[in-house]
Amino acid sequence: MSDRLSHRVVAVPPSGIRKYFDIVATMKDVISLGIGEPDFVTPDVIRQSGIASLGRGETSYTSNSGVKELRQAIVAKWEQLYGVAYDHHAETLITVGGSEALYLALTAILNPGDEVLVPEPCFVSYEAEVVFAGGTAVPIATRVEDLFQVTGAQLEAAITPRTKAILINYPNNPTGATLDLAKMLEIAAVAEKHDLLVISDEIYDRLVYAAPHITFSSLPNMRDRTIIIGGFSKDYAMTGWRLGFVLCPADILGQMRKIHQYTIMSASTTAQMAAITAMTDPAAEDAVLAMRESYDVRRKLLLAGLSSVGMPAFEPRGAFYAFPDIRISGMTSDQFAMTLLEEEQVACIPGPAFGLGGEGYVRMCYATAQDKIEEALERMGRFVRRHG
């Protein structure tokens, strides 16, 4: 009976985030800076579109690729924002969140033993998804000295004959880092030199606060070796709708669609109809910009507050996370997060939950109400003073 389970699945540990969510659920008066989810409800114009679709009785499957009008709207928006054109039929797929998109991409391109370079800290599922797809994840620790941007030299040093792809996520979860153009070109040069694919998770593409976002596929010679993962959860506050998309070359997308066809069939019809409005209605665009402005206010509030209580963080320029340095406390990241939760009822996530380079840091999400951030800062101030 010892072989009744997949060895590779058994070998993957549970998410390091889940433990803290479970503890928080049992406590009162907790201010959670742990959950990476917008605190906004989905904008009304998008919600009403979904309701109207249900009212019209649109409850059947869509095509495997997704509703044509949504795919057309996505490629039009991507070209408008970033100047890269895709074919809505052959190069676009609607998925159940960005998570399914990542699963499909890795499963479509990896053969057993193929290696994927994964800059860390990164979203908790990346290494696990590579393993589930039969590949080998090769983590690369980024450093605060480099603003948590992976360098071309780091990638070059990690390449072997089995390297197949580079998996990047900018704006980044958990650090809030973005990639500047020079670093993007370094990554692109390595990918081209070694004939690698690049999976670029750009789920936070609209939540950038300094320089405008640059999609990786817009770089010279990168369009046809890049798989773009996008979605509606973060930018449009549509986490519960579970809707994502992929933009990539037709040969790769065809295989991704095949896996999607056999495992999922199609994404939620209601969510897709609502997402058409998200992509096309000016009121939805106004809501995205308003949410981004609100996050920016809270970003500045949290950064200033963390600095004032002795928990400095480099400036996150995208997403909605801060990654403060807690090494001065003398605690490990896990000790710090657990003690802060027990003593002051403030929840954050230890940096090592996100891989290499995370020890000595914790992730704090500022997608929460401003008054709660202010109260959390007061509690953290007491905590820091008490622990010297």
Residue 21, pLDDT > 80, answer no
User: Does 20 or 1 have the greater pLDDT score?
Assistant: 20
Tokens describing residue 85: 């054109």
Percentage of the chain lying above the pLDDT 70 cut: 99
Residue 167, pLDDT > 60, answer yes
Which pLDDT does position 158 carry in this prediction? 98
Q: Give pTM, 2 decimals.
A: 0.94
**Residues 210-225: pLDDT tens digits?**
889 999 999 999 999 9
Q: For residue 162, give every residue at least 6 positions away whose Cβ sits within 8 Å of its Cβ, in sequence order, or none.
A: 113, 114, 115, 136
Residue 1, pLDDT > 50, answer no
Percentage of the chain lying above the pLDDT 90 cut: 88
* CATH class of the domain at 7-41+284-386: alpha beta
Residue 137, pLDDT > 50, answer yes
Range with the poorest average pLDDT among 11-15, 16-20, 149-153, 323-327: 16-20
Averaged pLDDT, 280-296:
97
* Cα end-to-end span (Å), the chain: 52
Looking at domain 44-281, its CATH architecture is: 3-Layer(aba) Sandwich (3.40)
Residue 124, pLDDT > 60, answer yes
Q: Report the mean per-residue pLDDT for the chain.
A: 95
Task: Tell me the pLDDT band of 2, cut-offs 50, 70 and 90.
Answer: low
User: In the chain, where are the structural domains located?
Assistant: 7-41+284-386, 44-281
Range with the poorest average pLDDT among 27-36, 46-55, 297-306, 357-366: 27-36
Enclosing H/E stretch for 130: helix 126-132
**Residues 231-242: pLDDT tens digits?**
999 999 999 999
CB 296 within 8 A of CB 209: yes
CB 325 within 8 A of CB 144: yes
- Considering only CA atoms, which of 112, 154, 84, 81 is closest in space to residue 357? 154
Averaged pLDDT, 20-31:
77
Task: Tell me the pLDDT band of 154, cut-offs 50, 70 and 90.
Answer: very high
**Judging by beta carbons within 10 Å of its beta carbon (0-12, 13-18, 19+), is residue 233 exposed, middle or buried?**
buried
